[in-house]
Amino acid sequence: MFSTSLTTNDLLFMLQGAWVTLKLTAAAMLIGTLAGVVFGLLRAAMPYATLPLSWALDVFRSVPLLIQFVLFNSLKSLVGLNWSAFTVGCVVLGVYAAAFCTEIVRGGVLAVPPALRRASRSLGMSYWQDLRYIVLPVATRVAFPGWLNLVLSVMKDTALVMWIGIIELLRASQTIVTRIQEPLLVLCIAGLIYYLMSLVVARLGARLERRWQEHD
């Protein structure tokens, strides 16, 4: 007969950790998307002038995220920033997301056919009108699948914030495992929660894509 020491309070503790995971993901993607859109447009419009920016973003894409967390958390103490661990997690994840989102946006902008842009300018549109009404709508549809994959990736990467003391889903699960010594059950439940959160995000993204297609 199956028996377990897992309690309802343990499940609630894991759900609280899942809520922290969602908040970290939302904050990181807000930072990453806003910065990524600005940087991506600059990279597409001025590829040579923004090479230093590209090199800087390459560093954040290349260095493992765990190292970034540890280094930034140490740097925060050295320079005297009175930031909470949650703020550090949001900033590091946000910069990391921005590094990838920049390339997603740049690829979306470059995917807009040059002939389409020339046609809009020949109709008397200004640069900003062309950007707003032609480039951004087309680029958004092209870039959206890549952006959605980035959201799912960042959601999983939030597990690394446990190394700077944040109790998110994985850290909460490990705390329970330490107490009841049932890693298989607890980690299976944690994996199920991750799956359900990712499934909701993916379904919402798919629904938004269908609406775009219906309006074509």
Mean per-residue pLDDT, 56-79: 89
Which domains, ranges and CATH numbers included, belong to the chain?
19-168 (1.10.3720.10)
The region of weakest confidence among 38-47, 118-127, 150-159, 200-209 is 118-127
Residue 154's pLDDT band, with cuts at 50, 70 and 90, is very high
Q: Which amino acid is residue 134, in one-letter code? A: I
How open is the CA angle 203-157-174, to the nearest 5 degrees? Answer: 105
In the predicted structure, residue 85 carries a pLDDT above the cut 80: yes
Q: How is residue 5 written in tokens?
A: 């020491």
| Share above pLDDT 70 across residues of the chain, in percent, rounded to a whole number | 98
Mean per-residue pLDDT, 187-200: 95
Q: In this predicted model, which residue has the larger pLDDT, 40 or 124?
A: 40
Mean per-residue pLDDT, 36-55: 91
Q: Look over the chain and give the mean of its residue pLDDT values, rounded to a whole number.
A: 89
Mean per-residue pLDDT, 132-144: 85
Dist. CA 190–CA 173, nearest whole Å: 7
Radius of gyration of the chain (CA): 21
Task: Say what the pLDDT of residue 42 is.
Answer: 92
Question: Are the beta carbons of 34 and 53 closer than 8 angstroms?
Answer: no
In this prediction the pTM is 0.89
In the predicted structure, residue 216 carries a pLDDT above the cut 90: no
